[in-house]
Amino acid sequence: MKKVLVARAVFPEVIERLGVVFEVTHNQDDAVWTQAQLIDKLQGREGVFVTGTEAIDAKLLDACPQLRAVCSMAVGYNNIDLAACTARRVLVSNAPDVLTETTADFGFALMMAAARRIAESEHFLRAGQWTRWGHDLFAGADVHGTTLGILGMGRIGQAIARRGAHGFGMAVVYHNRSRLDADTEAGLGARYVSKEQLLRDADHLILVLPYGPASHHAIGAAELALMKPTATLTNIARGGIVDDAALAEALHERRLAAAGLDVFEGEPALLPALLTLPNVVLTPHIASASLPTRRAMAELAADNLIAALGEGERAGAPPTALNPQVLRAG
């Protein structure tokens, strides 16, 4: 029986399901291992079930030559060196699609919370400061009928566009590495513009692009300077896409009205300045955190691991392999 490691705590039924096929070592205490500890735990194991937090790089792969499959329950995989895995014929999979709608819901909710000053007003109320009504008490920005800007137009970006255009009557503009076809644009009610035009036009900008060297600090001081001072920015993509220090400065100086952030540079550490700002809504990377969705993400990672390493009728093509050519090569 092949041996696999589950690197973080997951639903017990997923552990049980994997245990039918493999000898499983798990981490249900949810300890956060150092890379050295992870390498030690991986000795003698052919597969690993990871989340978005475990770094799988060339150093780890060289120290674990028996590893054949890295299956993540996250959709983003910037913590995994895909090229290094492919070069060593290690299959990598992620968990797209199953979190699209839930993440889009959350992105829209975070954007609305920032626009309507929901967190700020709740803190005010909880502190016992609400003593009377005022005509401008926490007056924020409208969402309906405004311009929604989307940077990154993959599955989640398109789901957000549908909510904005069809649910809130928003004019939707977007920028992406590649333009969508005309029929898709028409169905979404979305218009393609340059990145600069997107920043200038958006009343509410939502970031849903993947992270990589090309998108590091895609929103920095220069980009923030192009935005309306009445605009909001929401990041549900990845930390590092936004220069958090430049954003904090823009929010402090009211050159940007508000922001909603679910991801951060260096998370779980946060830039201290963000914690002092009243006009930013902060959440701990939970955009996909509904129970049905997280279960579906974990089950999909298990599907991939079983298909990649299982035997007999259990073996097959992993449903969401990122480098399926490594199986064909073997």
Reading the block at residue 246, the tokens are 């430049």
Q: Does 89 qualify as catalytic in the annotation?
A: no
Number of H helices, E strands in the chain: 15, 12
Chain centroid offset of residue 180 CA: 21
- Cβ atoms of 156 and 107 closer than 8 Å: yes
Question: What's the N-to-C CA distance of the chain in angstroms?
Answer: 20
Q: Which of 285, 294, 299, 314 is catalytic?
A: 285
Q: Strand order in 91-93's β-sheet?
A: 23-25, 3-6, 47-50, 69-72, 91-93
Q: Which of 26, 68, 238, 294 is catalytic?
A: 238
Query: Measuring CA to CA, how many Å separate 138 from each of 117, 148, 153, 203, 227?
Result: 6, 22, 32, 18, 22
Instruction: Please name every residue paired with 281 in a beta bridge, in sequence order, or none if there are none.
Output: 260
Q: Does 285 qualify as catalytic in the annotation?
A: yes
Dihedral sign from CA coordinates of 254, 259, 264, 158: negative
Query: Measuring CA to CA, how many Å separate 212 from each of 79, 81, 100, 141?
Result: 10, 11, 20, 32
Query: Measuring CA to CA, how many Å separate 185 from each of 114, 182, 239?
Result: 27, 5, 28
Q: Which of 267, 294, 295, 311 is catalytic?
A: 267
Q: Does 17 qualify as catalytic in the annotation?
A: no
Dihedral sign from CA coordinates of 56, 61, 63, 67: positive
The catalytic site residues sit at 238, 267, 285
